Amino acid sequence: MVYAARLHAKQLRKGTRVPYVAHLLATASIALEHGANEDEAIAALLHDAVEDQGGQKTLAAIRRRFGDVVAEIVMGCTDTDVTPKPPWRARKEAHLRHLRRASRSVRLVAAADKLHNARSIVTDLRERGIAAWERFNAGPEEQLWYYGAMVDTFSRKGPRSIAGELRLVVDEMRRLTQ
């Protein structure tokens, strides 16, 4: 937890004043509530570190500190480790293909991440209305496609316990977007 907090110390949730560590803690909490083991919980805390805080150099540091299992889960949750990031749609399509054949551990952490993100979007939609979508790189139609595809992936491949809840949250996201 301390390592994750240090890595993301200067980062805020996109378009907010919320410290990024809140998302990492929430993701780990959701993963633990759905049966995560210690390696999966550590990976949940670090799931955005490679993508947002240093790429392969950070992955190597995670591997040294926490081992191969944690590093592989973190890498499996990373949709890109290059800067600048590839185009949004292509990156998300590739990540979805990856998740369909990823390990149970990767899918557990990724599903926990997506559930927390979706909950945050629903909260923002309730508070700000459709303007909540302005902070994202893709518009509401693209985001709804992506979250719907995540629901489908997790419903088929697991973790089904999170997929069911994610489906409800994405349905609410759609309702609030109309």
Q: Does residue 12 sit in helix, strand or coil?
A: strand
Q: Where are the alpha helices (DSSP H) in the chain?
A: 2-7, 21-33, 38-46, 49-52, 55-66, 68-76, 88-101, 104-128, 140-157, 160-177
What are the phi and psi torsion angles at 86 (to 5°)? -60, 170
Catalytic residue among 52, 81, 93, 152: 52
Alpha carbon of residue 146 to chain centroid: 12
Selected catalytic residue, list 39, 40, 51, 124:
51
* CA–CA dist 3, 1 (Å, integer): 5
DSSP class of residue 86? P
Please indicate whether residue 51 is annotated as part of the active site: yes
CB 83 within 8 A of CB 58: no
* Phi and psi based region of residue 67 (left: phi greater than 0; alpha: psi -120 to 50; beta: remaining): left
Residues marked active site are found at 51-52
